[in-house]
């Protein structure tokens, strides 16, 4: 079984509040806690804070973005 992901841009999510990072080359998607600040580049002090969720990374067999044709 192969798992593929198609990611479409959402007009509701602004670029400044990035909670989703897609890397088609590595075939990974990373989800960040929308409540945390300064992600994806967090400082060591922020990583150790209580109550801040770590980013969640998911790998797929293939990822297709809005740049790919159908």
Each residue's pLDDT tens digit, 3-23: 999 988 777 665 556 788 999
Q: Residue 25: what pLDDT?
A: 93
Distances (CA, A) of 36 to 23, 39, 65: 21, 7, 25
Report d(CA 70, CA 31) in Å as an integer.
Answer: 25
Specify the pTM: 0.64
Q: How far is CA 26 from CA 13, 29, 31, 58, in A?
A: 23, 9, 15, 11
pLDDT of residue 66 exceeding 90, the answer is no
Distance CA 18, CA 29 (A): 12
Rounded distance, CA 23 to CA 8, Å? 14
Model confidence at 40, in pLDDT bands (50, 70, 90)? Answer: low
């Amino acid at each position: 079984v192969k798992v593929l992901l198609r990611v479409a841009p959402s007009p509701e999510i602004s670029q400044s509040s990035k909670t989703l990072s897609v890397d088609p080359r590595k075939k990974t998607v990373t989800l960040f806690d929308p409540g945390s600040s300064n992600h994806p580049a967090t400082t060591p002090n922020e990583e150790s804070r209580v109550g801040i969720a770590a980013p969640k990374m998911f790998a797929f067999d293939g990822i297709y973005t809005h740049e790919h044709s159908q």
